[in-house]
């Protein structure tokens, strides 16, 4: 069973609308949780990082929240733009992680229509 | 500009052939990683390296080999033993592999079988 589950698998919204992507994880204990944006045919780019003691982090129109008690995170995108069309990946680092050990979600594919 | 360069962007392999994917970084990072990305799946770790002349197997190392002769270079060889090599391959690096350090990704190499 994947330890990081994302929903929805795909999402279509109109330009200018807001949306929220979900990430549920079972990795425990964990060190941090990141959200990455991956454009088609490109490598992922880090959007936000939160440690287990943080519950919100913003990066422009992107706001990530974290509830360590329920093991849930969300990424809220405000006033979407066409350039937001991409896959958004939730990544959890276990506490005490050996080098390279990360748990990746399968991503949510977001499409923004004009 | 500093970053990670992967080449080629697209690569085709014949049956029974070994191919090598290039990954170069000028970020002066100690740690480097290779991931495989398949449609609808999260990234899976193939190999990682913390320092020159040292590397460790990840979750799916069978059929792959790496070398780390220089700090800035971490080439991946897909051998003929890898029976299902068609995928998108991503190289990443981080400062020292610590959990709080982000991994920076290249733009990937898409490998296909002829």
Q: Could A43 and B99 be called an inter-chain contact, meaning their C-beta atoms sit closer than 8 Å?
A: no
Give the pLDDT mean for B79-103. 90
Q: How many CB atoms lie within 10 A of CB A13?
A: 16
Selecting from A32, A43, A101 the residue whose C-beta is nearest the C-beta of B107 gives A43
* Count of all residues that appear for chain B in the document: 114
pLDDT tens digits, residue range A54-87?
A: 999 999 999 999 999 999 999 999 999 999 999 9
Selecting from B41, B100, B104 the residue whose C-beta is nearest the C-beta of A32 gives B100
A83 vs A28: CA distance, rounded Å: 34
Which residues on chain A are in Cβ contact (under 8 Å) with B10?
A: none
Cβ contact A39:B105 at 8 Å: no
In 3-state terms, what secondary structure has residue B39? coil
Q: Say which DSSP state B102 is in.
A: P
Which residues on chain A are in Cβ contact (under 8 Å) with B99?
A: 31-32, 93-95, 97
Buried b (16+ CB within 10 A) or exposed e, B51-64: ebeebeebeebeeb
Buried b (16+ CB within 10 A) or exposed e, B75-114: bbebeeebeebebbbbbbbbeebebebbbbbbbbbebeee
Please give the C-alpha separations between residue A52 and each of A83, A92, B1, B33, in angstroms, as whole numbers: 30, 10, 33, 25
Tell me, what's the pLDDT at B13? 87
Tell me, what's the pLDDT at B1? 60
pLDDT tens digits, residue range A13-49?
A: 999 999 999 999 998 888 899 999 999 999 999 999 9
Looking at CA atoms only, how far is residue A14 from chain B in angstroms? 23
Please give the C-alpha separations between residue A44 and each of A80, B65, B90, B101, in angstroms, as whole numbers: 19, 23, 9, 15
pLDDT tens digits, residue range B11-67?
A: 998 888 999 999 999 999 999 999 999 998 889 999 999 999 999 999 999 999 999
Judge whether B56 is closer than 8 Å to chain A, CB to CB. yes
């Amino acid at each position: 069973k994947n330890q990081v589950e994302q929903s929805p698998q795909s999402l279509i919204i109109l330009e200018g609308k807001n949306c929220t992507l979900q990430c549920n994880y079972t990795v425990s204990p964990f060190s941090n949780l990141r959200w990455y944006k991956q454009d088609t045919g490109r490598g992922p780019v880090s959007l936000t990082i939160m440690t287990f003691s943080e519950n919100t982090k913003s990066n422009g129109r992107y706001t990530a929240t974290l509830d360590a008690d329920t093991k849930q995170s969300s990424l809220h995108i405000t006033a979407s733009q066409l350039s937001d069309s991409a896959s958004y990946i939730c990544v959890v680092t276990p506490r005490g992680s050996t080098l390279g050990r990360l748990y990746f979600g399968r991503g949510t594919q977001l499409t923004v229509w004009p | 500009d500093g970053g990670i360069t992967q080449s080629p962007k697209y690569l085709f392999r014949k049956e029974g052939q070994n191919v090598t994917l290039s990954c170069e970084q000028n970020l002066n990072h100690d740690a480097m990683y290779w991931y495989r990305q398949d449609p609808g799946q999260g990234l899976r770790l193939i190999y990682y390296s913390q320092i020159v002349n040292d590397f460790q197997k990840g979750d799916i190392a069978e059929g792959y080999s790496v070398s780390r002769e220089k700090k800035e270079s971490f080439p991946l060889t897909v051998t003929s033993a890898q029976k299902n090599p068609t995928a998108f391959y991503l190289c990443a690096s981080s400062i020292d592999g610590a959990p709080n350090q982000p991994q920076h990704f290249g733009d990937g190499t898409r490998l296909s079988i002829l």
